Structure formats: C-alpha cells, structure tokens
Amino acid sequence: MPPQGIAQVLSNLPIPRHPDLLVGTETHDDAGVFRLTPELAVVQTADFFPPVVDDPFVYGQIAAANALSDVYAMGGQPVTALNLVCYPDDKLGLEWLGKILAGGAERCQAAGCTVVGGHTVRDAEIKFGLAVTGTIRPDRVLTNATARPGDVLYLSKPLGTGFVTTAAKFRRCPPELLRAACDSMVTLNKAACEAMLAVGVNAATDVTGFGLAGHGLEMARGSNVTLRIELARLPLLAGIEALDVSRFRTRASKTNRDYVAPHARFEGTPDRRRLEFFYDAQTSGGLLLSVPAAAADRLEQELQARGTPAAARIGTVLPFDGKHLVVV
C-alpha cells in the first residue's frame, strides 16, 4: 500500500494510548515497542511479501532478513519469530514451501532468533515472512523521530534491489548483478545495529518499500528537521551500471516520488539516473543512521570493521527550512 494510504488509514483508527507503549504508529516507525518492566521492553513487528527471486531458499532468507531488520532498526535483539505463510498447496507441491521455510529458518538461526511456530493459509499467490518479537532496554530504544541538526547520515547497504528483481523477472538481469543483489538482501542488519549501538546514533530506520526517499522523509518529518541528501554519495549495487534502470521501475517508484514531492526541494541539476535510486523500493535494505558529527568517523569505522555491505556517508541533518528533504 502507498505510504500516504497507510497514513490515512492509521489516522482514522481510534487507538488508545497505553502508558507503557513507548513506540506506536505515530511516527511510522519500523516496529512497536512495549515496556514490560523498567529494565525490559519488547519490540514487535511483522512483514511478508511475494517472491522476489526464483530460488525458494534464497527467497525465504530475504523475507526473513527483511522482517528481522525492523527489530534491528530499533536497536533491539530478535528473540522469537512466527512464520507467516500464504501458499497455493492445491496447485503447488510442498517441496517449494519446505525450501522457503528452510531459508527463513537459516536467517533466524544466524540472528540468534528462535522460530516458535507460525500460521499458513491457502492463497492463490505465495507470500512469506515473519512476525518477530525482540527485546530491548526501555532507555535504549532508537526511533526514526530523533535525528538532530548537525547529524551526519549513513546508509549500511547499497541501493537498487527493486530494479534488479524487476529486471530478473523479465530475464534481463545479468547473473552477477542478481547475485550481488541477493547477497545484499540476505545480509542481516545485525552488524549495522551492533555498530550503531557501539557508537551511539540519534536516530535510525531501515530502508525498504518506501525507498530512501520515503523512509528519509519519515525520519525528517518525525524529527522536524531537513535531510540534505547528496546523490553522488549514494551507494549502488556493484554492476548495476549495466542495467537501464529506467526500464525496470516498480510501481512503487512513482508512488514514492509522489509521496515525497510536496516535501522535497532539488538544488542544482540532480543526476537523473542517480535520482532513480533515491525512489527505488528496496527489499531487505540497509539502515539509515543519523549520527552526531563528532561520532561519524567512528561509526564509519565500526560499519566497515563489521563488514556491512556499505558504510556510506550520504548527507547531513539541518534545521527544518520549509522542506523536509533537500536533494543535491
């Protein structure tokens, strides 16, 4: 669903505010956080989607990594997961489903997260993902609404997975580029989370279906700041230069562009090709981190030392100047 559609639906729901609900729907954060005791809170999220690649095991890995990412974006540790499955068992054998679940289980095991069950329904289209519960100290919760002027922005994975998976559906994607995209998508954001916790960032969010543009806007609006994004600094998937990305836009590219348009200003003459990546919907993308300038170099070092797919300084946080996004 387009981000503006979700916002409209949520705004009409009569959701009572519980005093122990630390993070709800107000800022469109990655997960909800509920305090159980003064020292313990739970982080809860759910995500699932249709296959983005043909390999069922890799698809399961990607879907699981994507769902687990929401907990990491809040600074939490995933503890348990429930499989969420829609599957046409009346048309397909169960071997494919077994491989999907095996891929998801492998990523959960790598995260130190236990799969405790799940739910399956018959559907015309395959969909898979997880409902994840994590833990965190209430005083250490990170949200997307606490970026501060003077911060530096980092991205922990390259962009372009939307273009790559779309091209792959049409058999127009070079194999090595698809492998690079899959390697990025199956990578857990665990290392990026560990890096941000080691340094101390002000705000974080993961970059998924709304693209860098949409998730950046949510961070800027929630924090009442302006994000200045430098297109030349955006990290891109290795080998994506071989792809004419304008031919493989997803529907979400236009949706994301329309969503941010009233809130964005473009300075100079932005590179049109690189601007495509600003809007591209990501699957299991990286973390967008807002870190105090004094700690920026250390964060970059921590990300690199932990082997995150990218450790790219992509912009800065400014006082709100009338537009939440400035793209140069």
Instruction: Cite the residue boundaries of each domain of the chain with CATH code 3.30.1330.10.
Output: 3-140
The secondary element (H helix, E strand) that includes residue 180 is helix 175-186
The pLDDT assigned to 25 comes to 83
- The distance from CA 168 to its chain's CA centroid, rounded to whole angstroms, is 21
The pLDDT assigned to 26 comes to 80
DSSP structural state of residue 157: S
pLDDT digits (tens, 9 = 90+) for 158-217: 999 999 999 999 999 999 999 999 999 999 999 999 999 999 999 999 999 999 999 999
What's the CATH number for 3-140? 3.30.1330.10
Task: Report CA-CA distances (Å) from 262 to 150, 257, 265, 282, 320.
Answer: 24, 10, 8, 22, 14
Per the prediction, the chain carries an average pLDDT of 95
Q: What residue has token string 């995150």?
A: 308
pLDDT band at 242 (very low <50, low <70, confident <90, very high): confident
The pLDDT assigned to 2 comes to 60
pLDDT digits (tens, 9 = 90+) for 3-35: 556 666 666 776 667 999 999 888 788 899 999
The Cα–Cα gap between 222 and 29 comes to 9
Biggest CA–CA distance in the chain, Å, is: 58
Tokens of 123: 């559907």
91: CB partners within 8 A, 6+ apart: none
The pLDDT assigned to 287 comes to 98
- The distance from CA 236 to its chain's CA centroid, rounded to whole angstroms, is 15
Tokens of 40: 């313990």
pTM: predicted TM-score of the whole model, two decimal places: 0.94
328 has pLDDT over 60? yes
Instruction: Answer left, alpha or beta for residue 28, where phi above 0 means left and psi between -120 and 50 means alpha.
Output: left
Task: Report CA-CA distances (Å) from 186 to 18, 51, 153, 224.
Answer: 35, 13, 23, 33
Segment 104-121 mean pLDDT = 98
The pLDDT assigned to 7 comes to 62
pLDDT digits (tens, 9 = 90+) for 316-326: 999 999 999 99
pLDDT band at 110 (very low <50, low <70, confident <90, very high): very high
The Cα–Cα gap between 317 and 326 comes to 10
- CATH of 152-327 given 3.90.650.10, 3.40.630.10, 3.40.50.720, 1.10.10.10: 3.90.650.10
Residue pair 303/161 in contact by the 8 Å Cβ criterion: no
300: CB partners within 8 A, 6+ apart: 154, 311, 313
The pLDDT assigned to 17 comes to 79
pLDDT digits (tens, 9 = 90+) for 277-322: 999 999 999 999 999 999 999 999 999 999 999 999 999 999 999 9
Rg (CA), the chain: 19
Instruction: Cite the residue boundaries of each domain of the chain with CATH code 3.90.650.10.
Output: 152-327
Q: Is the dihedral of CA 192, 197, 203, 209 positive or negative?
A: positive
pLDDT digits (tens, 9 = 90+) for 44-90: 999 999 999 999 999 999 999 999 999 999 999 999 999 999 999 99
The pLDDT assigned to 28 comes to 81
Surface-to-core class of residue 270, CB atoms within 10 Å of its CB (0-12 exposed, 13-18 middle, 19+ buried): middle
The secondary element (H helix, E strand) that includes residue 10 is helix 3-11
